[in-house]
Each structure stands twice: as C-alpha cells, then as structure tokens.
Structure 1
Amino acid sequence: MARLSVIPCRDANIRVGILGGSFNPAHTGHCHISLEAIKRLHLSYVVWLVSPQNPLKALNIKASLDQRVTFAKSVACSRKIIVSDIERHFPDCYTANSIARIMEMHPKTEFMWIMGADNMLQIHKWYRWWRIFELLPVVVFDRGEHIQNLRNSKAGAMYSASSIISGSNAYSNDDAGAAKHTDWYFLKIKKEYSSSSQLRSVLQCETK
C-alpha cells in the first residue's frame, strides 16, 4: 500500500478532485465535468477513479477494467486528468473505503469528491455513504435535477449545502479554509448530453 499513489507526487500540498465510476465507457461528459472542476475549483488534477465493479450494479460490464482504463486514457482531454485503476489493488472497491485509503497515501493533499446530481440522489444506498461526507468536501454537478431535489434527498437532508457555485462564484482558498468535511457544494454547469449508455449504444451499432 505504501508504494501506491494516484498523483505524481505523494507528498504534494495541492488540491485534487476525484471523479469515480465504472467509465463504461469514458466520454466527453466526463471531460466536461473535469475541466469545469479544474477551472472553478482550482484543482491541480482530477483523478478518474475507474472502478473494477460498481457494487450496486449487476456484473454486466462487458469491457474489462484494462479496456476501460485504456479507453479512458484516450478520451482524457488534459494532462491534468489522471486515469487511475488503483482500486484493483484494494481488498474492496467501496467508495468510502477507497477515499480513505487514497487520503492515507497522500496526507498533504486536499481531496474533493466530485459526482453528478443523479448520484447525490441515491448515494444513501452506497456502503457507509455518510463517511464520504465526513472525509472530504463533496461537489455535486448539475445534470438536470433541481437544487431543491438534492436538498430534499436523504444525503441532502443530513448534510447541508454550503453554497451554490455558479460561473462567477468559484470555490476559493477561503472556502477551503472554512469548509467542514460535512459540507457539500452544488456547482452549476452547462448541460453535457453525452452519457456512457448512449455511447455504448453507438459503439454497439458501429461494431455490428
């Protein structure tokens, strides 16, 4: 474990976003969210944490982890986007546990968890989901759901939203200093209509 890392420098005193998922496959929507996060959250990197298997989904991922990682690297549109398969080395791939392990590897790095609004609405189904909010700030990107729906969700009701980050209201160093680990932020972005399911349909048609 001591030799594993997700960013180039283990002892870097920087801010890094983690965007987790199966990336089955990676698409321009992931790039869109990542670039917005880098710009507006002042991140040094965004790590695409490619999971071997989503514990909430059936074993229906046809592409292997290696295939998904290779494709994600071809899609990544910035040197500040790091594609990582580090979860293959963990005894499990539960998000809360993976975050804790990564933070232990990089104790000087400030991490933020990045996810779409759809995940915020069902995160209470995740294993020890509350631990995620207690470990690090959570940034939720607008993917169509109204902010009130998020506030009324189980997670939103338990942990209050610190702020709504619009184009003219970026997350600052002052915010970082004042943030509690139980904070979450709602970041408004322009809609990006690419999705893994849509892209899989296109790729399947092209291979027939």
Structure 2
Amino acid sequence: MKKGFPIAKPGQKIGLLGGSFDPAHQGHALITREALRRFGLDRVWWMVSPGNPLKAHGPAPLAQRVEHARQILRGDPRVVVSDLEARLGTRFTADTLSHLRRLYPGVRFVWLMGADNLVQFDRWDHWRDIIETVPIGVLARPGWRMPGRHARAARIYAQAELPPSQSSRLADGPAPRWCFINIPMSGLSSSEIRKRGDWRNG
C-alpha cells in the first residue's frame, strides 16, 4: 500500500465518512461510534476533503482540518483520519470509490452519510453509480428524519432498503443496499461552530 494510505485487509468492513470537517466536532464522533456499532464495522475512515464542490466558499487548510479531527477523536483506534481524496486527486465521491475499490480488493466498504445529505444525494455527481457500487448507511440527524425518509433517492431505491433491525448486515450483501437508522441526537454542526467563533485560529 502507498505511503500515507490507511491499511485494510480483505474481508474487513470499512465505513467511509466524507466531508470538509470544517471543523470536525463531537457530532461527527457520535455518528461514527453509532455507525461502528449499528452497521457492524471494523473501522471508519474520516475522509477530509480538499473542498466540497457543492459549497461556495472554501474550507480551512486541509492539514489544519485533519489535525483538528484527530484531536476530536482522542486516539480512538477504530477511526482513521485521512486526506485520501487529496492523495488520490479526486473531488467527487464516485471517483473516490472507484479508486478505493481498485486499491483495496476484497475490502467491504460502506458509505456513511447523515440524513441531511440523503435529501440532496440525487444532486451528487454520478449518484446512481455510488449507490450501485457500495452499501450506504444513513444516520438520522436533528430535523432531517422525515425529509430523509422522503428524499428522491430513498424513493427510487426503496426496494433496496434494509430495515434497521438488520443494520448489522449492511456490509454483507451487494449494492444497491442501504439502511436508515435513528441515533441519539446531536445538534452540533460545523456551520454553527464557525458562526460562534473562528476555530481556525485556535
């Protein structure tokens, strides 16, 4: 494996949580712990993106966001903070997944997202390729349970949904396969933290 890339063995179940993490906060840590438990994952990789194509303004420097994310996790060995997309030279999830599946044959990847992202998922570049490539674990966030349940992508792929009682089996079957779970709520958001103060200078 190339230097700077996370280590994973064939058969392992790896959750992928992408985003700008500008900044990372305890809400990210909460959904990660729940994803590990509910989806039966061995590891979760936080993929700190160079920039979000759907956001108008650029984030803080990548190295700063990666370091802050590691501080939030406090050395949890089950979670890896990575700048994979910068190393791969990808900006869109579909391209990132294509590279990862070639680099890690036999690894069972699961894409993780909040219910708020499910609402806009059909706007993502090649979103159908994503859902047809890897199982997707959706985690409910405050105010997004009902909008997420009625998202266009959720309606189109309704037949591929696993009930929450079978969430631990999400990574065991082929895509398309997704599961929507409710988790303990956290109202934290990166945008609210940015509004309260300039964490980038902290």
1:191 is aligned to 2:185? yes
Query: Aligned equivalents of 2:35 and 2:150: distance in 1?
Result: 24
Which of 187, 199, 203 is equivalent to 2:197? 203
For residues 59-88 of structure 1, what are the alpha-carbon distances to aligned partners after superposition, in whole Å with 9 as ceiling and x for unaligned?
332x10111011111111421110010111
Q: TM-score, normalised by structure 1?
A: 0.86
1:54 is matched with which residue?
52
Identity level (%)? 34
Whole-angstrom distance in 1 between the partners of 2:78 and 2:199: 32
Q: How many Å separate the matches in 2 of 1:39 and 1:31?
A: 13
Determine the structure 1 residue equivalent to 2:135: 137
Deviations 1:67-124 (A, max 9, x none): 1011111111421110010111223310111011112111111010000011000011
CA contact (8 A) 1:164 1:188 kept: no
Q: How much is the aligned-residue C-alpha RMSD, in angstroms? A: 2.3
The separation in 2 between residues aligned to 1:67 and 1:204, in whole angstroms, is 13
Structure 2, unaligned runs of 5 or more: none
Q: Determine which structure has the larger helix proportion and give its number.
A: 2
Alignment of 1:1-208 (within 5 A): 3=2, 6-9=5-8, 11-61=9-59, 63-77=60-74, 78-143=76-141, 144-147=143-146, 149-160=147-158, 161-165=160-164, 169=165, 171-173=167-169, 176-177=171-172, 179-204=173-198
**Distance in 1, Cα, partners of 2:88 & 2:61:** 17
The 3-state SS of whatever aligns with 2:2 is coil
Q: TM-score, normalised by structure 2?
A: 0.89
Unaligned runs of 5+ in 1: none
Instruction: Give 1:176 deviation, angstroms.
Output: 4.1
